[in-house]
Chains A and B, each alone.
Chain A
Amino acid sequence: MTAATRSRLDRLVFLGPATALLMLFYVLPVIVDVAIAFTDMGRNLEVTRVTTENVARIFGGDRRLAQVLTNTLVYVVCTLTLFNVGYALLLALTTTALPDRAGAFFRSVWLLPRMSPSVVYALLWTWVVAPTEYGLLNQIVAGIGMPPLDLKSDAPMLVVVLANGFIGASFGMIIFTSAIRSIPQHLFYAARADGANGLQIVRHVTLPQIRWHLSFVTLYQALSLLVSFEYIWLITDGGPFYDTTVWALYVYQRAFTSGQYAYGAALALVLVAAGIVAALVLWRFFDMRALLQRPRIEVS
């Protein structure tokens, strides 16, 4: 066997399985989605013609999309900034400042929602914000003499952001905790010696040191939120009316609740495109290439 043949065989053996899986589970579904999006496939999965009607409907015919798009932006931006990055960072900073055992205990508590089945977690939220006096929140507000709250009707997006945020914060918390732990201790000692207080240490030592982790979590979680809808579906089902219907849920409802598979596929296509654009913009904004470049020095 020649060296060239050997090299080609090695590539096939080592890269082949991964490439095949990538094609099967990532590329092929997009191709199928594109194909369906340009048909009239309905409830019985029959295709009678090829059409651009679905795309035309997205760009001018569906008046619900403006509200759905706004909901999606509010949902992604609020959940991401307030919880998946903001609150996760706060948890990481506070729990790493605590003694190890206490910090580990609080982090475990925040990981519990992540370990719960989605349906159980959503049911708990449904009970918490139930509009009657049986709801946990209303039992608390009744205890302090306030009238019952109905967050699912009066502030449904807040419920959706809170429910997703409390479960989403754990991912960033773990990443940031490990990042903070890996910061060389002498940097903190030096800052203390220079007279920096706690907030100044966070601002000038911790945050610059975990910059790449912040960038990664922001990018990864933004893309995750863009396509996530299971808790919204389980808690509000996108309502009342369309008040909490985000794009991904709208895709699901059109395709699988209404049986409009072709229109759902076209909507999903927009989501794929939006995801790619968001990824490229954030990649550029955070200069992720610098994060992934080869180290300039080799430590042996």
Chain B
Amino acid sequence: MRRPMMAVLATALCGIGLALAPAARGEEIVLKMWARADRSGPLRAGNVVEAAHAVNAWLAAAKTGKTVKVEVFESPAAGFDADALELLKACAVGRCPDLFVASHTWIGEFARSGYAMDLEDFVARHPWAFSDVIPVFWEATKYRGRIHAIPQDSESRMIFYNKDHLRKIGKDEAFIESLPAKVASGEFTAWDFSKLAQEVVQKGAAQFGLLHRPNVGPDYIMTFAAFGVRLLDDGTGKLALPKKELGAALSWIEWNAKNGVTPRNNTQMSWDEIQTAFKQEKAFAYHHGVWTLPEFQLGDAKGATWPKDRDGYFKKIGWILMPAAERGGKPTNLSHPIVYVINPKSPNADLAALFVAQVTLPYYNTKHAVSSAHTAILNGQASMPAYRDTWYLQEATKLLPWSTFQPAHPDFARYNQLLYKALQGVETGRLSVPQALEFLEEEASRELKDQFLVIG
């Protein structure tokens, strides 16, 4: 009887010893991070985890007796909006992480709720990390004029068009290759593009003229911007419904749906159906972003093989900005920066901020940019070998001067859901353009209350 008892006691002591061993070696600080599980950007969290190696090496060299461990919670949310709602709930019940990844459009809500640290002074104090950030991205991180997040990545969105379809309908090479420049100069408008896409469909070169995303997101905000839609009123800081401009944009969408350019059921199609249709050359054009090149455009995916090299790819596919609504107007691009946010209530807030400073360095960010096909946030990254050798990032960076952003307003996510509903209503023929504007005015006025104003 005594021997088994001794064995149990010995085992228990060994267990306690093992559990206390790290404490005996020194203090371990656990940094809790929240990042949406997103196959298009695993290094948003991965880089922070990796940065712990460097930080621990410095702590060891300084003989502090402390170590840092980063624990990542990968949220399974379907998108950044759903993720932000989950995170807000977690924070409301006292489970807020030390730092988190979010869409820049949610900074306002997090800051208003007290979950986003004011980083204006921190950024100024650490030029070694932040002085090379492309200045325009700071604008996307501000709440009430002050920086509340650190840019993590940027992107370039464009309309991809199939040059072989244009060759099939008899367009010459000079016309085909001149399209991007004509769009950039405002000579080739959105309506010109629709007529061209219609011609491609009518002549049987493709089944669809233009396909776009089938859910709530930023792409159609870029379309609206080309029609002069400004969704944030600069004077009041409120979300805006510029009826004349948005009416024009929705009329363009309606025309496309009525004239065989965009299928009426585009928003009922799955991502896979849309991307497969473009890859298998059943769609002339596709509106999305640069990261779709490694995702499915280059090489074998979606049942077709496209060239992987720059010249081969651009012989088949061209990129244009969203063309301007009127001749001489300004075309648009849209960047949707993802950002790091620090929880000001965290006891490790300063440490978390230093981790973010560390992963803003070119070494880390370029790894993310190249592996996920997102454009750089630092000027200097363009000369990093890995970035320089990724030809599609180099090309996408050229479109950044036309970048616009979605409004960083706390209520924009809800407004965007209504905008998508209006678009869907018009495209499917459920609503006329005036009805869609009426729907938006009524719903947004009711939901956004004094944070919303109608222009025109």
B442 and A63 contact, CB distance less than 8 A: yes
Taking a contact as CB atoms closer than 8 A, the residue among A44, A63, A260 that contacts B88 in the complex is: A44
Taking a contact as CB atoms closer than 8 A, the residue among B85, B92, B425, B428 that contacts A256 in the complex is: B85
- A18–B93 alpha-carbon span in the complex (Å): 29
Q: Tell me if B421 is interfacial: C-beta within 8 Å of chain A.
A: yes
B267 and A239 contact, CB distance less than 8 A: yes
Q: Tell me if A194 is interfacial: C-beta within 8 Å of chain B.
A: no
Interface majority SS (helix, strand, loop, mixed), chain B: helix
Nearest-neighbor residue (CB-CB) of A135 within chain B: B273
Within 8 A of A (CB), among B264-316: 264-265, 267-270, 273, 276-277
B431 and A131 contact, CB distance less than 8 A: no
The 0/1 profile, CB within 8 Å of A marked 1, for residues 77-110 of chain B is 0000010010011011100000000000000010
- B437 to chain A minimum Cβ distance, whole angstroms, is 14
Taking a contact as CB atoms closer than 8 A, the residue among A46, A57, A243 that contacts B446 in the complex is: A57
- A260–B431 alpha-carbon span in the complex (Å): 25
A241 and B268 contact, CB distance less than 8 A: no
- Check A130/B447 contact, CB under 8 A, given A43-B109, A153-B428, A257-B82: no
Specify which chain A residues have a CB less than 8 angstroms from the CB of B270 in the assembled complex.
126, 130
The 0/1 profile, CB within 8 Å of A marked 1, for residues 234-278 of chain B is 000000000000000000000000000001110111100100110
- A240–B428 alpha-carbon span in the complex (Å): 7
B265 and A152 contact, CB distance less than 8 A: yes
- A293–B263 alpha-carbon span in the complex (Å): 59
Within 8 A of B (CB), among A238-278: 239-243, 256-260
B92 and A241 contact, CB distance less than 8 A: no
Q: Tell me if B11 is interfacial: C-beta within 8 Å of chain A.
A: no
- A256–B83 alpha-carbon span in the complex (Å): 11
Nearest-neighbor residue (CB-CB) of B92 within chain A: A45
Q: Tell me if A61 is interfacial: C-beta within 8 Å of chain B.
A: yes
Interface majority SS (helix, strand, loop, mixed), chain A: loop
Q: Tell me if B113 is interfacial: C-beta within 8 Å of chain A.
A: yes
B417 and A131 contact, CB distance less than 8 A: no
- A145–B273 alpha-carbon span in the complex (Å): 22
The 0/1 profile, CB within 8 Å of B marked 1, for residues 18-56 of chain A is 000000000000000000000000011110000000000
B92 and A132 contact, CB distance less than 8 A: no
B265 and A44 contact, CB distance less than 8 A: no
Specify which chain B residues have a CB less than 8 angstroms from the CB of A260 in the assembled complex.
447
B88 and A43 contact, CB distance less than 8 A: yes
A258 and B446 contact, CB distance less than 8 A: no
Q: Tell me if B430 is interfacial: C-beta within 8 Å of chain A.
A: yes
Q: Tell me if B414 is interfacial: C-beta within 8 Å of chain A.
A: yes
Taking a contact as CB atoms closer than 8 A, the residue among A130, A131, A239 that contacts B424 in the complex is: A239
- A40 to chain B minimum Cβ distance, whole angstroms, is 11
Specify which chain B residues have a CB less than 8 angstroms from the CB of A126 in the assembled complex.
270
Specify which chain A residues have a CB less than 8 angstroms from the CB of B430 in the assembled complex.
240-241, 243
Specify which chain B residues have a CB less than 8 angstroms from the CB of A189 in the assembled complex.
none
Specify which chain B residues have a CB less than 8 angstroms from the CB of A105 in the assembled complex.
none
Taking a contact as CB atoms closer than 8 A, the residue among B88, B265, B276, B421 that contacts A131 in the complex is: B265
- B352 to chain A minimum Cβ distance, whole angstroms, is 20
A241 and B414 contact, CB distance less than 8 A: no
B268 and A240 contact, CB distance less than 8 A: yes
B91 and A44 contact, CB distance less than 8 A: yes
Taking a contact as CB atoms closer than 8 A, the residue among B92, B268, B414 that contacts A239 in the complex is: B268
A150 and B424 contact, CB distance less than 8 A: no
Q: Tell me if A134 is interfacial: C-beta within 8 Å of chain B.
A: yes
Specify which chain A residues have a CB less than 8 angstroms from the CB of B265 in the assembled complex.
131, 150, 152-153, 240
Specify which chain B residues have a CB less than 8 angstroms from the CB of A259 in the assembled complex.
85, 88, 414
Taking a contact as CB atoms closer than 8 A, the residue among A61, A150, A256 that contacts B268 in the complex is: A150
A43 and B85 contact, CB distance less than 8 A: yes
Specify which chain B residues have a CB less than 8 angstroms from the CB of A134 in the assembled complex.
273, 276
- A75–B151 alpha-carbon span in the complex (Å): 46
- Check A153/B93 contact, CB under 8 A, given A130-B273, A259-B85: no
Specify which chain A residues have a CB less than 8 angstroms from the CB of B91 in the assembled complex.
44
- Check A131/B268 contact, CB under 8 A, given A45-B93, A57-B446, A259-B414: yes
Interface hub of A43, A258, A260 (most chain B Cβ within 10 A): A43
- B214 to chain A minimum Cβ distance, whole angstroms, is 10
The 0/1 profile, CB within 8 Å of A marked 1, for residues 193-225 of chain B is 000000000000000000000000000000000
- A240–B85 alpha-carbon span in the complex (Å): 24
Specify which chain A residues have a CB less than 8 angstroms from the CB of B442 in the assembled complex.
63
A258 and B417 contact, CB distance less than 8 A: yes
- A239–B273 alpha-carbon span in the complex (Å): 18
B424 and A45 contact, CB distance less than 8 A: no
Chain A interfacial positions (CB closer than 8 Å to B): 43-46, 57, 61-64, 126, 130-132, 134, 150, 152-153, 236, 239-243, 256-260
A-B pairs with lowest CB-CB distance, top 9: A45-B92, A153-B265, A44-B113, A241-B430, A240-B428, A152-B268, A241-B425, A131-B265, A44-B88
20 contacts between A and B (CB under 8 A): A44-B91, A44-B109, A45-B89, A45-B93, A62-B446, A64-B443, A132-B269, A132-B273, A132-B277, A150-B265, A152-B265, A153-B264, A240-B425, A241-B425, A241-B431, A243-B430, A257-B85, A258-B414, A259-B414, A260-B447
Chain B interfacial positions (CB closer than 8 Å to A): 82, 85, 88-89, 91-93, 109, 112-113, 263-265, 267-270, 273, 276-277, 414, 417, 421, 424-425, 428, 430-431, 442-443, 446-447
Supplied contacts A134-B276, A241-B421, 4 more A-B pairs, CB within 8 Å = A43-B109, A44-B92, A44-B112, A240-B430
